[in-house]
Amino acid sequence: MPLAMNREVFITCAVTGSGSTQDRSPHVPRSPAQIAESAIAAAKAGAAVVHCHVRDPETGKPARDPALYREVTERIRDSATDVVLNLTAGMGGDLLFDGTENMNRMSARSDMAGAAERVAHVVECRPEICTLDCGTMNFAEADYVMVNTPGMLRDMAARMVASGVRIEIEAFDTGHLWFAKQLAEEGIIPDPVLVQLCMGVPWGAPDDLNTFMAMVNNVPKHWHWSAFALGRHQMPYVAASILAGGNVRVGLEDNLWLDKGVLATNAQLVERAVTVISNMGARVLTPAEVRAKLKLEKRAPVAK
């Protein structure tokens, strides 16, 4: 494959995520105010897009309360800092079991919701972008399955498009890209199509470069794509993604560290990504340029 470096790159900052990182770093934001503040700082550092989950403000555990999403959205929209808002829609498909001898019923720890409930915050908050995890997969935990059936994904995608929000496909393996292309062929996901390649998430696509290029080569040429890897591979993947023709994602959802033994903030991770991009001779795109490229519309939340 010939080198096709991207020279106009947009940065997405994944601000907090839904993993159990809340007690591993004081910089992982919990409350809507903290999440919005960290997103705004990332935008000031150079992120054109902020990808937001919400958490229980007291415990820091992942949540999907539309009121929390609304507060994050309003705080970001009311700030003087412009940024493209990307809300997750990955919650509500968490299937857990209580050991391998109790497979006939799901654990009470499961969080399973219908399509309307899973996208309710997206419809209400009207971000420019929301995510669609295009497949079911085992996650690192012993008895946890991320459930996204074909019927559920078609239903969620149709609701997202009807609400005027651009879908960002999250692909954790090549089969997820295969199904995403099917959704695009059916007209369920309209152009321009945006995809995030999620590398190194157990047990999806490993983050070696051979697998990465297999993922890249399965992205249709006219699609827009970005990529990330976890932990210490986050910054190397900034360079790898640019060299392969894509955009980049950094942030505390995927990596807590700036250097060995040094905990990062979202703004610091974005600043380092900006340095990598600039040193490679590429330019960092602004939120306005990303909106033009992806045909996005900035809107306020639905009035109460």
Tokens of 190: 């309209």
CA distance 21 to 263: 12
CA 254-169-28 angle, 5° bins: 25
Q: Which of 160, 194, 191, 192 is nearest to 90 (CA)?
A: 160
| pLDDT at residue number 139 | 84
- CATH number of the structural domain 8-98+109-294: 3.20.20.70
| pLDDT at residue number 4 | 87
Q: In the chain, which stretches have pLDDT less than 70?
A: 1-2
| pLDDT at residue number 2 | 58
Q: What pTM does this model have?
A: 0.96
| pLDDT at residue number 3 | 72
Q: Which of 81, 96, 91 is nearest to 56 (CA)?
A: 91
Residue 195: DSSP 8-state? E
Q: Which H/E stretch holds residue 160?
A: helix 150-162
Please report how the helices 174-185 and 150-162 are oriented relative to each other, as an axis angle in degrees rounded to 10: 50
| pLDDT at residue number 1 | 53
CA distance 215 to 241: 11
Q: Where are the beta strands (DSSP E) in 155-296?
A: 166-171, 194-199, 224-229, 247-250, 257-259, 262-263, 283-284
87-121 pLDDT, tens digit each: 999 999 999 999 888 889 999 999 999 999 999 99
With tokens 């369920």, the residue in question is: 188
Q: Are 173 and 135 in contact (CB under 8 A)?
A: yes
